[in-house]
Structure 1
Amino acid sequence: MNQLSGIFVFDIETIPDLETVRRAWNVDATVLDNSLRDQWASEERPIKPAWQQIVAIAGAWIEPNGALRYLGALGSENDSEAALVRIFFQVVARHRPRLVGWNSGGFDLPVLVYRAMVHRIPAPAFYQIGEPYHSYRKRFDEESHIDLMDVLSFYGASPRLKLDEMAQVLGIPGKLGVDGGQVWDLYQSGDLATIRRYCMTDVLTTALIYSRYAEHRGWCSADQVTTFEQSVVAWLEAQDDPIWARFLDQWTARLPQVLGRQSWDDGQALSDGGADTMMR
């Protein structure tokens, strides 16, 4: 098996691809976008993963020693969907991470593959890493990719929880003020900054859930858990946006111990020129 270099926790935010929806539903251009929106919002005609358009991708990089080295939205607000998808697959090819997500096997990864095909983006490394036994697409294997929602439900034997529901189980703040149902309206108003921040919040929540799962599985030592939690605190303390201060206050208030402090260095690199460079 090809050696993995670290953990990449990721999430995507999407809106329906209206051109595809119109073709799939045989709806002409005279039907207003908001009329289509009302149909899928009521679940009268649900939107399939293949009909989604990606508007944001966020990720967190966790080093083997447990340290959080990067948390951010990939690319920039001005990047096209194709650019964001290309960046994601470049991260996979360059850094060969273990991928971690929430419903990532049922939604995020299939959507990324669909949209890569739409934009004719080659991604051979995605299919080569971990082969022949531990590929990113293998469902019942946690070596290269872990879909936490699927794993924690015993692959559907138990009811699957939403991300925010699992966050509440573990005392993690989860969604603060924005949820997935608002992404369409935020996109229509041009507020990509809020969408990207919301995507980052979901990534941080997923990373914290993964830390607890890895601790439970015996994959990490007490020192690694402490290193991770302290590095998350340091990252949160370094942010100017008050939403992160709120997240920090709610999260640390629920932890059983007082976390130590360390400073966050935005220059801490994944490799090859730094986190910000690598994610663009």
Structure 2
Amino acid sequence: MRHDQPRRPTDDHNPNYVTVTDIETIVENEPADGSFPPWPRHIPVAACVLRAACWPGHAAFSLDTLTCSEGDEPAFYTKLDKLLNSEATLVTFNGRAFDLNVLRLSAMSARQFALPGLARLAHSNRYGDRHADLCDLFGAYGATRGHPLAELCHRLQIPVKTSVSGGDVGALWRAGEHASVVRYVEEDVAATYLLWLHWLAARHADPMMIAGPLAAFAAWLEDNPALAHLHEFACAPIARWARPLALAGTVARARDDAALRLRREEDERSFLA
């Protein structure tokens, strides 16, 4: 009798439409020894969502950052859930083990249950195509010891943790330095997006899968004065490498499109002759 073995879900994520997110948290009583508290003790105070829709000849981006002070929880979770509630591939770094768990538990604590985006992501499979956790992907799903985002970004010359680290968030938030926390979470999201593009291009053996989107992302950052604090990502070594390659790709596509139109016109003339 034949027994079909269950197949592992595919991790071929949608490369064209992604949502990148990260959160910053505080805990009520910071450990005196500086150790990282268990995730159930963390309270979200900021979240950033970058949405990117990119394919040859098209690129569109949006960046939304939310903060959550005491009493703001219902609005915070409702707005964040709307941003996450899409068919785009969710991209995080350690989001499966930390961010999503913290968000779900904190939403429950705030009596917020009507959150279809978080509900959908709660059922995302570790190997599925709905959620790309870069901590899992770069760690070969646990085959190697996990490394922090900063370690991977430093190796790839991606700007990260330029002025603030995660250990500073609690003190900054309590001191009212919310703008610094917002800047920090936005920098982490931008770094995560660049790391995702590296993974994507290597996964598909196609340099244009990083060059095109990254060149467009860099141009978008430079065209938005409100994102001046992220311009370092637009002039990072990988962005400088990507821009001429993306331009060459655009020229090649235009040349191929022109040649295709000429062939079609010749075929039509031959048919009518």
TM-score category of the 2 structures, normalised to the smaller one = 0.7 to 0.9
Is 1:163 aligned with 2:163?
A: no
The answer to which structure has the higher helix fraction is 2
Alpha-carbon distance change, 53 to 174 in structure 1, aligned in 2, over 3 angstroms: same
Q: What is the CA distance between 1:69 and its match in structure 2?
A: 1.0
Deviations 1:78-131 (A, max 9, x none): 9824322222212233x232111001011000001001111122245347648x
- 2:100 equivalent in structure 1: 109
Amino acid at match of 1:102: F
Q: CA deviation at 1:243?
A: 3.3
Q: CA RMSD in A?
A: 3.1
Contact 2:25 2:44 (8 Å CA) reproduced: yes
- Could you say which structure has the larger radius of gyration? 2
Instruction: Determine the structure 2 residue equivalent to 1:10.
Output: 21
Q: Could you say which residue in structure 2 is the equivalent of 1:37?
A: 30
**Whole-angstrom distance in 2 between the partners of 1:241 and 1:92:** 21
Give the equivalent residue in structure 1 for 2:44: 54
Aligned residues: 231
Deviation, structure 1 residue 189: 1.1
Corresponding position of 2:81: 89
Q: Aligned partners of 2:65, 2:89: CA distance in 1, in Å? A: 18
Q: What's the counterpart of residue 258 of structure 2?
A: none
Letter in 2 for 1:234: A
Q: 1:140 aligns with which of 123, 127, 149?
A: 127
Distance 1:204 1:77, change over 3 A: farther
Q: Which amino acid aligns with 2:24?
A: E
TM-score, normalised with respect to structure 1: 0.72
Cα distance change on mapping 1:10 and 1:136 into 2, 3 Å = farther
Instruction: Report the Cα distance in structure 2 between the residues aligned to 1:255 and 1:175, rounded to whole angstroms.
Output: 20
Give the TM-score normalised by structure 2: 0.73
Q: Percent identity?
A: 25
Aligned counterpart, 2:210:
225
Kindly indicate whether the alpha-carbon contact (under 8 Å) linking 1:89 and 1:123 is maintained by their aligned counterparts in 2: no
What 5-or-longer segments of structure 1 have no aligned partner? 19-35, 262-280
- Which aligned segments of 4 or more residues in structure 1 are displaced greater than 4 angstroms? 75-79, 127-130, 257-261
Matched, 1:173 2:159: yes
SS at match of 2:19: strand
Distance 1:10 1:178 in 2: 18
Distance 1:214 1:183 in 2: 30
Tell me, in whole angstroms, the C-alpha distance in 2 between the residues paired with 1:203 and 1:212: 14
SS at match of 2:225: coil
**Contact 2:43–2:106 (8 Å) recurs in 1:** yes
